[in-house]
Chains A and B, each alone.
Chain A
Amino acid sequence: MATRQTQTLARLMLAPSVLALFIWMIVPLAITLWFSFQQYNPLNPIRDGFVGFSNYALFYSNPAFFQAILNTLLIVGSVLLITVVGGVLLALLLDQPIFGQGFVRILVISPFFVMPPVAALVWKNMIMHPSYGVFADMARFLGVQPVDWFAQYPLFSVIIIVAWQWLPFATLILLTSLQSLDGEQMEAAEMDGASFLSRFWYLTLPHMSRAITVVILIQTIFLLSVYAEILVTTNGGPGYASTNLPFLVYQKASLEFKIGQASAGGIIAVILANIVAFFAMRAVGRNLDR
Chain B
Amino acid sequence: MNLKTFLLGTCSAVVIAGFAQAETLTIATVNNGDMVRMQTLTDDFTKANPDIQLEWVTLEENVLRERVTTDIATKGGQYDVMTIGTYEVPIWAKQSWLLPLDNLGADYDAADIIPAIAGGLSVDGKLYAAPFYGESSFIMYRKDLMEKAGLTMPDAPTWEFVADAARKMTDRAAEINGVCLRGKAGWGENMAFLTAMSNSFGARWFDESWKPQFDQPEWKNTLQFYVDLMKDAGPVGASSNGFNENLALFQQGKCGMWIDATVAASFVSNPKDSTVADKVGYALAPDTGLGKRGNWLWAWSLAVPAGTQKAEAAQKFVSWATSKAYLDLVASKEGWANVPPGTRSSLYANAEYQKAAPFAKMTLDSINSADPTKPTVKPVPYVGVQFVAIPEFQGLGTTVGQLFSAALAGQMTVDDALKQAQDVTTSTMTEGGYIQ
* Residues of A bordering B, CB below 8 Å: 41-45, 47, 58, 61, 63, 124, 129-131, 136, 145-146, 148, 150-152, 234-241, 251-252, 254-258
- Which of B234-242, B287-295, B301-309 lines the interface with chain A? B234-242
Given the known interface contacts A131-B254, A239-B405, the answer about A255 and B398 at a Cβ–Cβ threshold of 8 Å is yes
Cα A131 to Cα B177 in complex, Å, equals 12
Cβ-neighbour of A63 out of B405, B411, B423 (below 8 A) = B423
Q: Across the interface, do A240 and B235 meet the contact criterion of CB distance under 8 Å?
A: no
* Contact of B391 with A by CB under 8 A: yes
Cα A144 to Cα B264 in complex, Å, equals 33
Cα A254 to Cα B73 in complex, Å, equals 12
Q: Across the interface, do B394 and A151 meet the contact criterion of CB distance under 8 Å?
A: no
* Residues of B bordering A, CB below 8 Å: 66, 69-70, 73-74, 91, 95, 175, 184-186, 235-240, 249, 254, 391-392, 394-396, 398-399, 402-403, 405-406, 408-412, 417, 420, 423-424, 427, 431-433
Cβ-neighbour of B235 out of A45, A131, A237, A254 (below 8 A) = A131
Q: Across the interface, do B74 and A131 meet the contact criterion of CB distance under 8 Å?
A: no
What is the chain B residue whose CB lies nearest that of A151? Answer: B409
Give the most central of A45, A148, A237: most B CB within 10 Å: A237
Output the least CB separation between B143 and chain A (Å).
23
Contacts of B95 in A (CB 8 A): 45
Summed over the interface, the residue pairs from A and B with CB atoms below 8 Å come to a total of 109
Contacts of A131 in B (CB 8 A): 175, 235-237, 249, 254
Given the known interface contacts A47-B433, A235-B185, A256-B394, the answer about A130 and B409 at a Cβ–Cβ threshold of 8 Å is no
Q: Which 9 A-B pairs have the closest CB atoms?
A: A256-B395, A239-B406, A42-B73, A130-B237, A238-B406, A151-B409, A43-B391, A238-B409, A130-B236
Q: Across the interface, do B431 and A58 meet the contact criterion of CB distance under 8 Å?
A: yes
Contacts of A136 in B (CB 8 A): 236
Q: Across the interface, do B395 and A151 meet the contact criterion of CB distance under 8 Å?
A: no
**B interface SS class:** helix
Contacts of B392 in A (CB 8 A): 43-44, 256
Given the known interface contacts A41-B391, A44-B432, A257-B394, the answer about A235 and B186 at a Cβ–Cβ threshold of 8 Å is yes
Q: Across the interface, do A238 and B408 meet the contact criterion of CB distance under 8 Å?
A: yes
User: Can you report 14 residue pairs joining A to B where beta carbons are below 8 Å apart?
Assistant: A44-B391, A47-B432, A58-B431, A136-B236, A152-B409, A237-B406, A239-B406, A239-B409, A239-B412, A240-B406, A254-B66, A255-B395, A256-B399, A257-B391
Q: Across the interface, do B411 and A151 meet the contact criterion of CB distance under 8 Å?
A: yes
Q: Across the interface, do A237 and B431 meet the contact criterion of CB distance under 8 Å?
A: no
Given the known interface contacts A63-B423, A238-B409, the answer about A255 and B394 at a Cβ–Cβ threshold of 8 Å is yes
Cβ-neighbour of A237 out of B238, B402, B420 (below 8 A) = B402
